[in-house]
């Protein structure tokens, strides 16, 4: 597994084989490969991109065997998922990789399931690629990976970023690598390429709907009702989809209900995490367990019913969805104040 999300070996290869779960990671590595070729005299006019679906293998083979008028060629098979390949496609690609080609080949694809690519047909293809050139795989990135990545990205721009603030940025922005990179670029520019401070992130940073609603729930639990309503208004000002807000509210409050029920049976938040999540970190449930102290189990039962009623009203009536959310949040606040 790759230790970074971009190719670090900048030597010209006859073959690059990139496999990534994130399309942004795939596309960034295609860009790296193009730059390597450009620096080694492969003109942009000599680069040809083929989509993975319905690929014409005879045309790919001809290009790999035929020198360009401008010199060497780069043939890229990208813009697709490895599942787009049939068994016959995989065999033809393996033969192309093994051939004595006059030009350079880059295969850059996404994949979804680790278990599926462990199938024998893929293993054989990957082993063939490893023998012929550079094989680079980047799986689904976790929070620690993303934090280290953006700290490194900031450092390359002579900008300091603390671990705590990196964790906050990832929490706000989510797991989209491209969005994270863009966010850090914005923060670096905003601080004049010195050190990213918390006030910059708070002022100009984006937040996922989930992160914003998580913060709103936290404000409710800390009995800061006015701030919670202000947070809801901020989401409306950003034209956030009302159903997305309700979905995030439901997710957070259901977590609290689970943790409250577990606590009454002396079950830890980490066990709740194991019962309901296959991966990720238990922090979400740790916070939910803490916030659940602001409500009785009976109050949380009632809140779950209120969430259901709001969902039905937003989907089946012509009522103003924003007004439904205002009422819902006020009802939740009231349940916590009893």
Q: Which range has the worst mean pLDDT, 9-18, 102-111, 270-279?
A: 270-279
Residue 104 pLDDT > 80, yes or no?
Answer: yes
Average pLDDT over residues 315-329: 89
CA dihedral 187, 191, 193, 197 (to 10 degrees): -70
pLDDT digits (tens, 9 = 90+) for 34-79: 999 999 999 888 899 998 888 999 999 999 988 766 689 999 998 7
Mean pLDDT of the chain: 87
pLDDT digits (tens, 9 = 90+) for 183-208: 898 899 889 999 999 988 877 776 67
Residue 1 pLDDT > 50, yes or no?
Answer: no
pLDDT score for 141: 66
CA dihedral 174, 176, 178, 180 (to 10 degrees): 20
Neighbours of 8 (CB within 10 A): 9
Query: What sign for the dihedral angle of Cα 175, 181, 187, 190?
Result: negative
Residue 28 pLDDT > 70, yes or no?
Answer: yes
Average pLDDT over residues 75-96: 92
Neighbours of 97 (CB within 10 A): 20
Pairing of strands 104-110, 47-51: unpaired
pLDDT score for 172: 78
More confident call, 250 vs 174:
250
CA distance 230 to 244: 17
Q: Is 207 helix (H, G, I), strand (E, B) or coil?
A: coil
- Does the predicted model carry a pTM greater than 0.85? no
Comparing CA positions, the residue from 180, 135, 184 lying closest to residue 20 is 135
Residue 148 pLDDT > 90, yes or no?
Answer: no
């Amino acid at each position: 597994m790759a230790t970074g999300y971009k190719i670090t070996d900048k030597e010209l290869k006859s073959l690059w084989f990139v496999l990534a779960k994130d399309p942004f990671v795939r596309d960034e590595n295609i860009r790296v490969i193009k730059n390597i070729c450009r620096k080694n005299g492969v003109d942009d006019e000599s680069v040809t991109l083929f989509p993975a679906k319905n690929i014409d293998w005879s045309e790919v083979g001809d290009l790999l065997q035929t020198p360009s008028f401008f010199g060497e060629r780069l043939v890229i098979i990208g813009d697709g998922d490895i599942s787009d390949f049939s068994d016959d496609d995989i065999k033809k690609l393996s033969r192309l990789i093994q051939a004595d080609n006059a030009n350079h080949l880059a295969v850059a694809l996404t994949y979804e399931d680790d278990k599926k690519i462990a199938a024998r047909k893929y293993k054989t293809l990957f082993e063939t690629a490893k023998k012929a050139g550079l094989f680079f795989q980047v799986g689904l990135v976790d929070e620690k990976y993303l934090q280290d990545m953006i700290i490194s990205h900031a450092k390359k721009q002579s900008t300091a970023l603390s671990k705590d603030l990196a964790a906050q940025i990832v929490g706000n922005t989510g797991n989209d690598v491209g969005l994270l990179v863009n966010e850090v670029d914005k923060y670096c520019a905003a601080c004049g390429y010195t050190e990213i401070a918390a006030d910059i992130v708070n002022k100009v940073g984006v937040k996922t709907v989930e992160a914003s609603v998580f913060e709103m729930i936290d404000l409710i639990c800390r009995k800061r009702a006015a701030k919670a309503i202000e947070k809801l208004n901020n989401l409306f000002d950003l034209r956030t989809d009302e159903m997305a807000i309700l979905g995030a509210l439901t997710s957070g409050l259901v977590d609290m209900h689970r943790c409250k029920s577990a606590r009454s049976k002396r079950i830890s938040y980490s066990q709740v995490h194991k019962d309901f999540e296959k991966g990720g970190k238990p922090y979400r449930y740790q916070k939910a367990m803490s916030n659940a102290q602001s409500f009785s189990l009976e109050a949380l039962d009632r809140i779950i019913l209120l969430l259901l009623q709001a969902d039905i009203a937003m989907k089946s009536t012509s009522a103003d969805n924003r007004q439904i959310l205002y009422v819902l949040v006020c009802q939740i606040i009231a349940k916590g104040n009893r």
